[in-house]
Amino acid sequence: MNFRYPSYILFAAIMLFASSCYKKFDANSYKPALSIGGYTSASEIASGNLVAYWGFNGNLTDSVSKTNCENKGTTFATGIKGSALKGATKAYALFTPGTAITGLKAFTITLWVNNPQNTAGIVELLNLSNTKSFWGNIDIFFENGSTDTKAVLKMHIASAQGETWLGNYDVQNIWDRWTNLAVSYNGVDSFKVYVNGLRIATHVMAGAGPIQFLNPGKMVFGTSQFQTVPSLTSEATSQDWASYLTGSLDEVRIYNKALEEADVSALVKLEGRGK
């Protein structure tokens, strides 16, 4: 007996067979890679100048030196990328820096912070201690005097050539949301301060020359050098006007040069997109 199939059934069978030989079309695979400032990820920016990087993705390890921080009560929370260091009252992390950090002549430091309003005292985010001075070689902190809509950002850099205070900068509407802060020094005379990739201040210190840190000790994430136990400096102990990071810190990067403004902007945009 001869069976004859209508042509449309035969055509359908042929198309089913043909479609099984090819992968389903995926429009996303044809999209160009995200490129910001010529970069597709934050790791591409000045990679040869990156001397320290803490992603805090479930650990307290500097990805460049492969050295761990000493944990003093911090935990982890959701970060801007992956997880982040989560602080608490009387909690912080300590890191012993090598000469790649203590010997910096120029630098850029960039970090993300998500913190509630500091109502209990100043909140230091990052400190490179000076073991024989009240303030550290590097201090980045929220000063007292904040409001529910305003943070007061302040930074301090010490060198053999003298001290530089940057601030007080009123930064609006940053509590309880991820905000990027950055500071750079070009090794000659110019400091720049950034919030979310935008330069908010330039400070020129004529004749300053290369940085020369004095009596550098440990680095601190989450409080000031005099709030640790024991204090990291012989010149001070705990102060009642100082406090601790109770929010989160993420994506801390230190470079041995002043990044171009366009690169700071690209870095923030890429990290903000998880790249």
For Cα atoms 221, 226, 230, give the angle at the middle one, nearest 5 degrees: 90
User: Which candidate, 197, 109, 118, 119, places its Cα nearest to that of 155?
Assistant: 109
Residue 14 confidence (pLDDT): 47
Topology adopted by domain 27-272 = Jelly Rolls (2.60.120)
How far apart are alpha carbons 259 and 215 in whole angstroms?
A: 26
Which residues does the chain have with pLDDT short of 50? 1-3, 5, 14, 17-19, 21-22, 25
Please tell me the predicted confidence (pLDDT) of residue 206: 87
Strand duo 190-195 + 198-204: pairing:
antiparallel
Q: Which two tokens mark 142?
A: 């929220």
Distance of alpha carbon 228 from alpha carbon 215, whole angstroms: 17
Write out pLDDT tens, residues 102-140. 999 999 999 999 999 999 999 999 999 999 999 999 999
Mean pLDDT of the chain: 92
Residue 48 class from Cβ within 10 Å (0-12 exposed, 13-18 middle, 19+ buried)? exposed
The residues with which 153 forms a beta bridge, in sequence order, are 142, 169
pTM above 0.75, yes or no: yes
